[in-house]
Amino acid sequence: MARYCFYCGAELEDNEKCNCRARTRAESAARSASYGQPENTYQEQPDTGSSSAGNNPSQNTYTYTSAETSSSSSSNPSQTTNNNKSKRQENKDKQKAERERLKAVRAEAKRRSKAEKERRRQSYQAGAAAGSYRTQQLRDFGRDLLQLLTRPADAIKAQAIPRWSLAHSILLIAGAFLGGAHFAFANKWLYSVLFNQRLTAPNLQGAGLYFTGVLISAFFLLLYTGILWILARFLFRQGGLPFSHTLAVGKTAWAYLVLFMLIALPTTMQGGFFGLLLVLMGFAFSCLIHARSVAVITHLTENQTMNLTLVSIMIFTSLFATAIAFFQTLLIA
């Protein structure tokens, strides 16, 4: 009758013993040695299952415990995979760093090229810098005049700058010279109105009469500026306000005065009354604008601004009337 091994199921001859367990132990020892584990990976344990089944209790079975071997064999591939992943990530980081470096180099080269072009452009335009500055000043002057017509309230606040510029000189000189022209054309008529035909006009002709009118116009403008300055310093307690600032903020008022004088000049040249009336209206309007400009830089309230305008005009007209009366009395006596 054929016999078979209880462990591996191999067919055995009579009196033949199967060496499958010895061979299994040898293979396990070799495998443990290759993974760096101790060779004794078998432990002898009683087979309680066999005892309960009715086998000999003294018979021992061997259970293969390969926990460490299995863990070693299973951890080795995962460790290799982690190493591969770390190497790939390191290569990606190196490539990314290289791309960033190249990008920074290109950006720096582009910046230097742009800076060089800008330097050359500025060197080419250095000769025309003075002319462009004057052109810009003329453009600003024209823009300010346009703002006076389209947005007068904003222009008064924006142009109330206590700093002298070329526009101030242009407007002040233009106002004085146009006032001289009006005075020269209406000299005899003015004397007949002011002195009731009891005084003869001075025998001035040509340039003498014209420059006399220029000086009188400039004197009136400076006189009203002085009145505003005194009132602001002593009546409204603006002790730190210098006269130059009060004069500089009159640019907007002088612009309106020049506009009125230019419009009235053709009528005055014909000897008409309405030309001089328009000049007086323009002068009164410029006084209002000048007082409001002073109020802007001194931060007066609306009521204080109206008070400053009213008192300054009253004082100015009173001084003008007093001077005319004194001059009339002096010449008639």
Specify whether the backbone of 3 is left (phi greater than 0), alpha (psi in -120 to 50) or beta: beta
Tell me what percent of the residues of the chain surpass a pLDDT of 90: 16
Whether the pLDDT of residue 187 is over 80: the answer is no
Among residues 220, 219, 224, 215, the alpha carbon closest in space to that of 184 is found at 215
**pLDDT at residue 229 in the model:** 93
User: What is the pTM (predicted TM-score) of this model?
Assistant: 0.54
Please write the tens of the pLDDT for every residue from 224-276.
999 999 999 888 888 788 898 999 998 889 989 999 999 988 888 876 678 88
- When mean pLDDT is compared across 184-198, 203-217, 252-266, the lowest value belongs to 184-198
> How far is residue 250's CA from residue 289's CA, in Å, rounded to a whole number?
8
Instruction: Kindly state the average pLDDT of the residues 78-103.
Output: 79
Residue ranges per structural domain of the chain: 3-65, 79-126, 147-332
In the 3-class helix/strand/coil scheme, how is 192-216 assigned residue by residue? HHHCCCCCCCCCCCCHHHHHHHHHH
Let me know: does 18 contact 12? Beta carbons within 8 Å: yes
Please write the tens of the pLDDT for every residue from 4-26.
777 777 777 777 778 788 888 87
> How far is residue 4's CA from residue 74's CA, in Å, rounded to a whole number?
34
**pLDDT at residue 141 in the model:** 67
> How far is residue 225's CA from residue 242's CA, in Å, rounded to a whole number?
11
Whether the pLDDT of residue 58 is over 60: the answer is no
> How far is residue 310's CA from residue 300's CA, in Å, rounded to a whole number?
14
Instruction: Kindly state the average pLDDT of the residues 166-172.
Output: 87
* Average per-residue pLDDT for the chain: 75
Pick the more confident residue, 178 or 194: 178
- When mean pLDDT is compared across 160-164, 176-180, 226-230, the lowest value belongs to 160-164
**pLDDT at residue 73 in the model:** 46
Whether the pLDDT of residue 325 is over 90: the answer is no
> How far is residue 20's CA from residue 143's CA, in Å, rounded to a whole number?
110
> How far is residue 306's CA from residue 317's CA, in Å, rounded to a whole number?
17
Residue 302 backbone dihedrals phi, psi, to 5 degrees: -65, -40
Q: Which residues pair with 181 in a beta bridge?
A: none
Structure tokens at 199: 């005084």
- CA separation (Å) from 272 to 65, 116, 185, 258, 285? 131, 66, 10, 19, 21
The kind and range of the H/E element at 12 are strand 11-12
Let me know: does 280 contact 264? Beta carbons within 8 Å: no
Structure tokens at 308: 């400053």
The kind and range of the H/E element at 3 are strand 3-4
**pLDDT at residue 165 in the model:** 83
> How far is residue 94's CA from residue 245's CA, in Å, rounded to a whole number?
67
**pLDDT at residue 155 in the model:** 80
Pick the more confident residue, 90 or 249: 249
Structure tokens at 224: 């009203």
Please write the tens of the pLDDT for every residue from 289-320.
999 999 989 888 889 989 999 999 999 989 88
Instruction: Kindly state the average pLDDT of the residues 190-212.
Output: 63
Residue 11 backbone dihedrals phi, psi, to 5 degrees: -80, 135
Handedness of CA 275, 282, 186, 321 (dihedral sign): positive
Please write the tens of the pLDDT for every residue from 106-153.
888 888 888 877 776 665 555 445 556 667 767 776 777 777 778 878
Among residues 239, 247, 230, 249, the alpha carbon closest in space to that of 157 is found at 249
Instruction: Kindly state the average pLDDT of the residues 192-219.
Output: 69
